[in-house]
Amino acid sequence: ANVYLDEDYAKMHVGVVAGPHIQLTVSDTGIGMDKTIQSQLFEPFFTTKETGKGTGLGLATVYGIVKQSSGNIWVYSEPGQGSTFKIYLPKVDEPLTQHLASKKATALGDGELILIVEDDPALLEMFVKMVVKLGYQVKTAPNGKAALELVAAQNLRPAMLLTDVIMPGMNGKQLAEKLGKIQPGLHVLFTSGYTDDAIFHLGVLDSQSMFIQKPFSVDDLAAKIRQVLATR
Q: What pLDDT digit, counting tens, does each position of 108-129 carry? A: 889 999 999 999 898 999 999 9
- Residue 48 clears pLDDT 60, i.e. is over it: no
At residue 51 the predicted structure's pLDDT band, cuts being 50, 70 and 90, is very low
Q: How far apart (Å, rounded) are the C-alpha atoms in residues 198 and 203?
A: 9
Contact indicator for 163, 172 with CB cutoff of 8 Å? yes
Q: Tens digit of pLDDT for each residue in 198-226?
A: 666 555 677 678 999 887 889 899 999 99
Contact indicator for 163, 191 with CB cutoff of 8 Å? yes
Average pLDDT over residues 37-65: 62
Q: How far apart (Å, rounded) are the C-alpha atoms in residues 230 and 232?
A: 7
Half-sphere exposure of 177 (CA within 13 A, CB side): 9
Contact indicator for 159, 137 with CB cutoff of 8 Å? no
Half-sphere exposure of 42 (CA within 13 A, CB side): 15
Average pLDDT over residues 31-54: 66
Where would I find the H helices in the chain?
A: 7-12, 35-40, 58-68, 96-101, 121-133, 144-154, 172-182, 196-201, 218-230
Q: Which domains does the chain have, with CATH numbers?
A: 2-90 (3.30.565.10), 104-230 (3.40.50.2300)
Q: What integer pLDDT is reported at residue 129 of this predicted model?
A: 94
At residue 56 the predicted structure's pLDDT band, cuts being 50, 70 and 90, is very low
Going by C-beta distance under 8 Å and a sequence separation of 6 or more, which residues neighbour residue 134?
Answer: 106, 107, 108, 109, 218, 221, 222, 225
At residue 14 the predicted structure's pLDDT band, cuts being 50, 70 and 90, is confident
Residue 160: C-alpha distances to residues 77, 127, 136, 175 (Å): 44, 14, 10, 13
Q: What integer pLDDT is reported at residue 105 of this predicted model?
A: 58
Q: Tens digit of pLDDT for each residue in 59-95?
A: 777 777 787 788 889 888 888 888 999 999 999 876 6
Q: Tens digit of pLDDT for each residue in 151-179?
A: 999 999 999 999 998 888 899 999 999 99
- Residue 44 clears pLDDT 50, i.e. is over it: yes
Of the two residues 198 and 3, the one the predictor is more confident about is 3
Of the two residues 224 and 100, the one the predictor is more confident about is 224
Residues in a beta bridge with 190: 163, 211
- Residue 57 clears pLDDT 70, i.e. is over it: no
Half-sphere exposure of 14 (CA within 13 A, CB side): 0
